[in-house]
Amino acid sequence: MRRPLSPAIPWRTNLRRFATMISWRYRHLGVFLIVGLASLVLEAVLIESLLPQNWPWVMRASLAFVVGMLIAAVVNVQFNFQVTPSRQLRAILVYGIVSLVSLSLNLGLAYALRLFEVMPYSIGRLVASGALCGVIYIVHRRWTFHRLSRNLGLAIYLNSDRPGPHELEHLRDACDHVHFDLIDRTLDPNAAPIDSSRIAAAREHWTWQPLVLHIMSRTPLRWTEELGPQVDTVLFHPDGEDDPLDVIARARELSLRVGVVWHGAMRFSDLLRFLPMVDYVMVLGIERPGQSGQPIREEAIAIATELVNLENRYHFQTMFDGGVSLATLPRIPSRILVSSSAVTSAQHPLRAALMLMEGIAET
């Protein structure tokens, strides 16, 4: 469920914020539809006017389809989705395969509805394409451009001396999940007390986004018991005092999704036994957990790359927290990101959040 616009903010600001989010969220879809329509018009013009009319109709229709598809592929790959050069050829090939499947579905639907009996071929193609455009777009996002959009979590600290949910309220739906960082005194003797009321406060601002709790503690079982019922996912460090299997089991009993966290002091091999048991593995990309604004670690990027390659085998997802920014985005292989300072310290926080969500690097 989407949260309604805030009555405390002037309606013009609400409207501008809403328009910004919608335009960024769906701009790829808008361009995709415009390019698709233009390619269909070009296909019709080629068939009816530009190609020699003494050619067999099947030859004209096939060549027109290929030309329109290639132009649409290049425009989408280079300008709409801005695929990196190393992946452009693969993206164009996949785009062509999906387009052939789309053509088959279009023709099948047109013949099933007998469109070609009551209208010209080009108009029938346009009608059938319009009926299937949503499905085709989803397939392209899933297969052709599947590594572009990111799942962004906004980080909120549960320690009472850190900024709370009110600092990010103005961003509202410009995130995919809300990420709580909890640091207790078993890990940092100087840590401020935990303010668990911030979870309820955040739920007032984010009504539909999943809540993720990152437990930075030597005793994660305690916090899983205490705060688990208030969130949807718990992430913990498996090198603490509690048996990691007990933490995972308790999270499952509470109907939570669960993940383990890798940090610089751990060996990669220490994670392997947990991969079949968890939903997520989060990589900490910074040296000191809980401190924003640190540079990203090369070792963390290498670990995240290895984990992403293992996702399909073990059915988990890789998250990346720390050092995430528009500048480092192209180097981070994980689709799920957690960010704080890169958004809050940006000149235009909403724009920065939306660009991270859309996978658009800083240029």
Q: What pLDDT digit, counting tens, does each position of 16-47 carry? A: 656 766 666 677 788 899 999 999 999 999 99
Read off the pLDDT of each residue in 52-57 and give the average, rounded to a whole number. 93
- Check residue 258 and give its pLDDT: 98
Angle at 224 between CA 218 and CA 227, to 5 degrees: 120
Other Cβ atoms less than 10 A from the Cβ of 19: the count is 10
Residue 7 reports pLDDT greater than 50: no
Query: 261: number of CA atoms within 13 Å, CB side?
Result: 28
Neighbouring-strand partners of residue 157:
181
pLDDT at site 340: 82
* Out of 23-32, 130-139, 212-221, 300-309, least confident range: 23-32
140 or 321: which carries more pLDDT confidence? 321
At 47 the pLDDT is 94
| Backbone φ, ψ for residue 318 (5° rounding) | -95, 135
SS3 of residue 333 by DSSP: coil
Of the ranges 68-82, 290-304, 309-323, 329-343, the best mean pLDDT one: 309-323
Question: Comparing 118 with 290, which gets the higher pLDDT?
Answer: 118
Q: Integer distance in angstroms from the first to the last C-alpha of the chain?
A: 34
Express each pLDDT in 213-259 by its tens digit: 999 999 999 999 999 999 999 999 999 999 999 999 999 999 999 99
**Helix ranges (DSSP H) in the chain:** 11-25, 27-45, 57-75, 85-112, 121-139, 197-205, 220-227, 244-253, 269-272, 298-314, 341-344, 349-357
What number of other Cβ atoms are within 10 A of residue 243's Cβ? 11
Tokens of 250: 């308790």
Is the pTM of the predicted complex or chain greater than 0.85? no
Residues 6+ apart with CB under 8 A from 322: 284, 285, 286, 289, 294, 296, 300, 338
Given this model, what pLDDT does residue 2 score?
Answer: 36
What structural domains does the chain harbor? 24-144 (no CATH), 151-357 (3.20.20.70)
Task: Quote the mean pLDDT of the chain.
Answer: 86
pLDDT at residue 81 in the model = 78
Residue 51 DSSP SS3: coil
Give the whole-angstrom CA distance, residue 222 versus residue 199: 17
- Pick the range with the lowest mean pLDDT from 27-31, 275-279, 286-290: 286-290
pLDDT over 70 percentage in the chain: 89
Q: Per-residue pLDDT averaged across 75-80, rounded?
A: 88
Whether the pLDDT of residue 1 is over 90: the answer is: no
